[in-house]
Amino acid sequence: MSTLTAGPPMTSPAAAQVQPTFAGVMRGEWIKLLSLRSTWWALASTAAVITLVALAAAMSLSAMADDPALAPGIEQMHGAEIIAGGFHFGMLTIAVLGALLITGEYATGMIRSTFAAVPSRIPVLGAKALVLVVLTAAVTFVSVTLSYFVTMPQLSQYDLVPALDDPGTWRVFGGTLYSLIAAALFSLGIGTLLRSTAASVTVALTVLLLLPGTLSFIRLDWVETIVSYLPLPASSALLTTGAAETQGAYLSTQASLIVMAAYAVVPLAAAAVTLHRRDA
Amino acid sequence: MIEAHQLTKRYGDKTAVHTLSFTIAPGTVTGFLGPNGAGKSTTMRLIMGLDRPTSGTVTVNGKPYGQHRSPLREVGALLDAKAVHPGRSARSHLRTMAATHNIKTSRVSEVIEMTGLAGAATKRVGGFSLGMSQRLGIAAALLGDPRTLILDEPVNGLDPEGVQWVRQLVRDLAAEGRTVFLSSHLMSEMSQTADQLLVIGRGHIIAAGSVQQVIDSVASGAVRVRSPRAGELAAALATDGVTITSPEAGMLEVSGTTAEHVGEVAFRCGLPLYELSPRRASLEEAYMNLTQDAVEYRSEPTTARSTPAQKGQKGQNR
């Protein structure tokens, strides 16, 4: 060991192609993410939480059916809404994962190795965003599939198993996916801007989950307007089959799509601008 | 080849490096010396494009680092051995970097072997000693088989065997025609490893050149003379540029002249000499002389209780 030197220089024909490509940066991010246990914990807990909440919602159907005041409501319900009922909790873990993707690098100093390898920096953020989208999509697919099957016994009793040829079903599942991806990208953008894990997770979770609840006690018109544009209320139109959509406070489907996209894109764009300017 | 021109970096109102201009030539090991806080790491971050200079420019192999098509083939850097995610294995860490440049996995295995990490490559980096982390950092720096290596305190935390290894490694890399730029605050280490020295203090270059030049420029070397008639000899030697001190009766320390000159003067005056010995300044002494005014964090003589004034000063230094 002590007598080893620099070793054989890389003289393979491929040496000429040794340079950063976006596919390479993507692969690097992919290895980074999958080589950490915390990623697997975040993904597994996302799937577990979404599934358990869906199961709990499905099991509470029997309690509803026993209550004469609530029983008629069951007919109004759509099975897909019950299956996607754990979506908020999934948002929590996905948001933490999205923030950690970048704040973890700042906290450990890994970011300097990353930017030394990719000095243009922006491809790193782009690759992280794409990897995060893929991972979020995968975990949403797994969660919804699991939820679909574990809730089936309960839902079938009330004829609520969502039909796979029902556009309403796909609207809810698609809305869940869209909102979770938006939340993940929002956190990534916030994380890149703030760099600190604690600050980023606090901000992301406050905006994503906490504010709508805390502000709902304030009955001022303008506050209610703001609340309707917060991610959770804004996404609600995407998480219903559309029947309950006309309830005033909520945004239209189109507006919801745009607002949620803005939550994903605006912080990321701001992050991309500052990423280049700031010292690593 | 690393070229800095009027390189300046300020953080807030604190100037970390001030108008540095230097050239680090290929085929040599250049030591970057300075006390803690002198600006060594800042300079290295500026070279790597991690921090943006407030003014001035720095290029590596002719271009700013970020403009190279294949950055890791141009420069390999070890800036902070602990700058690795502790939850990842050494191999995974290297693979993430290799993937960005489409460097083959076989090269990852190669640098793991080279740096003696084979036994620990699949263990999580969080459990590594500083020495092991340094080896991983060096492995990462070698990954792209770069023409230029920048190593920030690479021997810090290494065992003697590891120190020996790094010394041999950088000498071999330089012999292959690569540029090697390594920092240290350990003089003894530098005197055995480096060909060229760049000494900085408080963000300014205070000396540059070959190891011998730097030593000569600071301490021209004192001459120790013992004579029963030391007083007369001192009078005869006293001219411009000659400093004479007398540490004890019958002994003189003469600096600013040569042993030959002292001997001739003594002969001319008919003064007997019991001892005439030139004393070579060591790099250590040269360095202490160079940097005594440029030490950012000076250790005060330890007292039982630190006074509020001292505390305040320390806070200011941060």
Mean pLDDT of chain B: 87
- pLDDT higher than threshold 50 for residue A180: yes
Q: Give the angle A274-A36-B103 at the CA atoms, nearest 5°.
A: 75
Mean pLDDT of chain A: 88
Pick from A28, A182, A1, A15: nearest CA to A116: A28
| Count of other CB atoms within 10 angstroms of residue B249 | 9
To which residue do tokens 């991010």 refer?
A29
Split at pLDDT 50, 70, 90, the class of B314 is very low
Taking an 8 Å cut-off on Cβ atoms, the answer to whether A108 and B79 are in contact is no
Q: Which two tokens stand for residue B190?
A: 């530098």
What DSSP string runs through A18-86? -S--HHHHHHHHHHHHHT-HHHHHHHHHHHHHHHHHHHHHHHHHHHHHHSTTTHHHHHH--HHHHHGGG
Among A49, A51, A96, A100, CA closest to A206: A96
Best A3, A12, A18, A279 residue to mutate vs chain B (most B CBs within 10 Å): A18
Confidence band, pLDDT 50/70/90 cuts, at residue B186 = confident
Q: Decide: B252 and B213 in contact? Cβ < 8 Å.
A: no
pLDDT in tens, A195-215: 999 999 999 999 999 998 888
Q: Residue B100: which of A108, A118, A277 has the nearest Cβ? A: A118
Least confident of A11-25, A259-273, B72-86: A11-25
Q: Which residue has the higher pLDDT, A248 or A171?
A: A171
For B17-36, write each residue's pLDDT tens digit.
999 999 999 999 999 998 88
pLDDT surpasses 50 at A12 = no
Contact B234, B71 (CB under 8 A): no
Distance between first and last Cα of chain B: 33
Mean local confidence (pLDDT), A137-153: 94
**What pLDDT sits at residue B246?**
85
- Model confidence pLDDT, tens digit, residues B269-294: 999 999 998 876 666 777 777 777 66
The two three-digit tokens of residue A174, written as one number: 């698609």
Residues of B in contact with A25 (CB under 8 A): 99-100
Burial of B53 (0-12, 13-18, 19+ CB in 10 A): buried
| pLDDT at B296 exceeding the cut of 70 | no
Q: What integer pLDDT is reported at residue A66 of this predicted model?
A: 85
Q: Which residue has the higher pLDDT, A248 or B316?
A: A248
Q: How far apart are CA A196 and CA A103, in angstroms?
A: 6
Q: Are B139 and B87 in contact (CB under 8 A)?
A: no
Asked if the model's pLDDT at residue A100 lies above 90, the reply is: yes
Confidence class for position A71, pLDDT limits 50, 70, 90? confident
CA dist., res. B99 & res. B115, Å (int): 20
Inter-residue contact B107 to B89 (CB < 8 Å): no
pLDDT computed for residue B307 by the predictor: 42
**Contact criterion met (CB < 8 Å) for A279 and B45:** yes
Q: 10 Å Cβ neighbour count for A67?
A: 9
Residue B31 carries which DSSP code? Answer: E
Element (H, E) at B211: helix B211-218
Separation between Cα atoms, residue B99 and residue A26, nearest integer Å: 8
Residue B69 above 70 pLDDT? yes
pLDDT at B220: 58
**Residues ≥6 apart with Cβ < 8 Å to B198:** B22, B24, B30, B31, B32, B33, B205, B207, B208
Check: CB of residue B34 under 8 Å from CB of residue A79: no
* Residue A226: burial class (beta carbons within 10 Å; 0-12, 13-18, 19+): middle
Minimal C-alpha gap between A251 and chain B (Å): 42
Q: Could you tell me which of B233, B226, B192, B195 has the C-alpha nearest to residue B213? A: B195
pLDDT in tens, B147-180: 999 999 999 889 999 999 999 999 999 999 999 9
Residue B301 has pLDDT above 70, yes or no: no
pLDDT of residue A205: 94
- Give the DSSP per-residue string, B258-296: -HHHHHHHHHHHT---SEEEEEPPPHHHHHHHHHTT--S
Average pLDDT for A160-183:
91
**How sure is the predictor about B308, in pLDDT bands with cuts at 50, 70 and 90?**
very low
pLDDT over 90 at B185, yes or no = no
* The pLDDT of residue B258 is above 50: yes
| A180-189, A238-247, A262-271, B230-239, range with the lowest pLDDT | A238-247
Q: Are residues B87 and A27, on separate chains, in Cβ contact within 8 Å? A: no
A116 near B48, Cβ under 8 Å? yes
Residue B241 near residue B249 (C-beta atoms within 8 A):
no
Tell me the per-residue pLDDT of B205-232, one tens digit each, with 9 for 90 and over. 988 999 888 877 765 567 889 999 988 8
pLDDT score for B105:
93
Question: Are B283 and B188 a contacting pair, CB within 8 Å?
Answer: yes
CB atoms within 10 A of CB B38: 27
- Is A232 a residue whose pLDDT tops 60? yes
Non-local CB neighbours of A57 within 8 Å, separated by 6+ positions: A82, A85, A86, A151
**Count of other CB atoms within 10 angstroms of residue A7:** 16
Q: What is the pLDDT of residue B282?
A: 67
Q: For a pLDDT cut of 70, what percent of chain B falls above it?
A: 89
CB-nearest to A31 from B82, B96, B103 is B96
Q: What percent of chain A has pLDDT over 90?
A: 57
Of A116-125, A225-234, B182-191, B290-299, the poorest mean pLDDT is in B290-299
Q: Do B165 and A105 make contact, defined as CB atoms within 8 angstroms?
A: no
**Looking at chain B from residue 59 to 78, which residues have their Cβ under 8 Å from any Cβ of chain A?**
65-66, 68-73, 75, 77
Residue B233, burial from CB neighbour count under 10 angstroms (0-12, 13-18, 19+): buried
Tell whether the model's pLDDT for residue B295 goes beyond 70: no
**Residue partners of B223: CB distance under 8 A and separation at least 6:** B253, B254, B255, B257, B258, B259, B262, B276, B277, B278, B279
A108 interaction partners in chain B (CB closer than 8 Å) = 83-86
Of A1, A31, A116, the CB nearest to B71: A116
Closest-CA distance, B316 to chain A, in angstroms, reads: 23
Q: Is B80 on the interface with A (CB under 8 A)?
A: yes
The predicted structure's pLDDT at residue B273: 93
The confidence band for A6, taking pLDDT boundaries of 50, 70 and 90, is very low
Lowest mean pLDDT among A123-137, B90-104, B185-199: B185-199
Q: Which candidate, A114, A279, A125, A101, places its Cα nearest to that of A197?
A: A101
**pLDDT, mean of residues A181-189:** 97
Closest Cα of chain B to A263: distance in Å?
Answer: 29
* Rounded Cα gap, residues A51 and A274, in angstroms: 38
Round to whole Å and give the CA distance between B102 and B162.
Answer: 30
Per-residue pLDDT at A274? 94
Least confident of A62-71, A115-124, B90-99: A62-71
Please give the residue that has the higher pLDDT: either A67 or B49: B49
DSSP category for residue A163 = P
